[in-house]
Amino acid sequence: MTKTYEIRKPIWCAGCGHFGVQGAIQYALQAAGIELHETLVLAGIGCSGTVQNNIGAYGYHAMHGRVLPTAIGVSLANPDLTVIAAGGDGDGYAIGGGHLMHALKRNANLLYVVMNNGVYGLTKGQDSPTAKTPLAAPEEDPLDAMMLGLSIRSTTFLARAITTRSDQLNELMLMGLQHSREGKGMAFIEVLSPCVTYDDTYSQWMNKVYDLDADPDYRNDDRGKAFFDLNRLIEQSLIPIGLIYHGEHASLQSAMLSDVTPFHSLEDQHAGHFNQHMEEVLSAYAV
């Protein structure tokens, strides 16, 4: 077998939540039987943005905040690949926040994992948009990306997990991966992944999570009720986790890709169909 890069050991602080997220991604890939060479893991910039080095698949390190448009580009250009985008809450909700709503709206076949620790780890602990009581603006409420996801009507898979409950995290990760692989669209999973160095929220979060998967009255196929329930839980200072929403909507691929020619192969370039098309295009300009 050809030798390729040596899989990196994570560079995270001992106890960082990101270990658990990586473990779940690896578990899901294995459980779904997806080959590493058919997988591209794209990551943002941040402590979280090193996960792609530790898995053994193809890896791409996007610019800060741009992981989603890049992942969408990949998923359209080669629909056979398994596309996993990952990053921090700063990467995804601050600098990349503008892309998030459009990605949710487009519903491309990919898995997006946000490692939410409420801080910017790599730049040493500044508040992120999900920080509970930001130092600079304590009156601001943190962003809740699941509420955002629910408000966009073309979302199809929204879930939140916490690294301390690894079984649930693994299970949701596998479901999300399969959702995207089956062409049902984008699976968006936010994982509460504490930063032990700059804001150790383990005990705080463990006490506040509310497991919707364990609530028989919760309906994850009812967008309106889900929104209502989440809002109520947040008002009670709880953090809802579990499969928050699961629905159906046409994926970006089903809307945009035709079956004309597999466009990532250029072998057809000088074949009849292409030439004829180009001649026709050109003839429109003939004098």
Partner 1 sequence: MKPAIYDISAAVDKDLLRAEVRDDLTVMVAGQGGDGSLTIIALLSKALLHRGYHIYRTSDIASRIKGGHAAALMRASTKPRGNLGDQIDILIAFDLEAVQKASNRLAPNSIVIFDSSREAMPPDLVPETALMIPVPFSRLSVRDLRRDLFKNSLGFGLLGRIIGLADKEVESCLRKHFKKLSSAQLEPNIKALREGQAFADKAGISGRNSILTLPAQAVENERIFISGNHAAAMGFMAAGGRFFAGYPITPATDVMNFLERNLPAVGGVVMQAEDELASINLVIGAALTGVRAMTASSGPGIALMLESIGHCGSAEIPIVIIDCQRAGPSTGMPTKPEQSDINMVTRGGNGDYPHIVLTPGDPEECFYGSILATNIAQRAQCPVILALDAVCHDNFTVPRFDLERARIYPGKRVTESDVAQMEEYRRYAITEDGISPWAVPGTRDAMNLVTGNERNEWGLVTTEPDMRVAMVDKRSRKIETVRPLLPKAVEWGDVNSPLGILGVGILGGVMTEAAERLAEQGLHFHCHRPRTLWPVLEDTIDFVNSHERVYVVEQSEGAQLAGLLKSEGARADKIVSILKYDGLQFSTAELVATIVEKERLA
Ligand X SMILES: Cc1ncc(C[n+]2csc(CCOP(=O)(O)OP(=O)(O)O)c2C)c(N)n1
| Interface ranges with ligand X (CB under 6 A) | 44-48, 64, 87-91, 115, 117, 119-123, 128
Minimum gap (Å) between residue 218 Cβ and ligand X: 29
Q: Rounded CA gap, 264 and 56, in Å? A: 24
| Interface residue with partner 1, options 166, 197, 231, 261 (CB under 8 A) | 261
- Choose, by CB under 6 A, the member of 34, 47, 72, 172 that binds ligand SF4: 47
* φ, ψ for residue 203, nearest 5 deg: -70, -40
Shortest distance (Å) from residue 204 CB to partner 1: 32
CA angle 64, 68, 73 (to 5 degrees): 120
Decide whether 91 or 229 has the Cβ nearer to ligand X: 91
Among 17, 20, 44, 69, which residue interacts with partner 1 (rule: CB under 8 A)?
A: 69
Q: Is 121 in the site for ligand SF4 (CB under 6 A)?
A: yes
| Contact (Cβ atoms closer than 8 angstroms) between residue 192 and residue 162 | yes
Task: Kindly give, in sequence order, each residue whose CB lies less than 8 Å from that of residue 213, ignoring residues fewer than 6 positions away.
Answer: 168, 241, 242, 243
Q: What is the DSSP string of 105-150?
A: HHT-S-EEEEEE-SEETTTTSEE-TT-SS-SS-TTSPPP-HHHHHH
What is the binding site for partner 1 (CB under 8 A)?
A: 1-6, 8, 35-40, 42, 50, 52-53, 56-63, 65-66, 69-78, 80-81, 98-99, 102, 256-258, 260-264, 266, 269, 273-275, 277-279, 281-282, 285-287
What is the binding site for ligand SF4 (CB under 6 A)?
A: 12-13, 16, 18, 47, 117, 121, 195-198
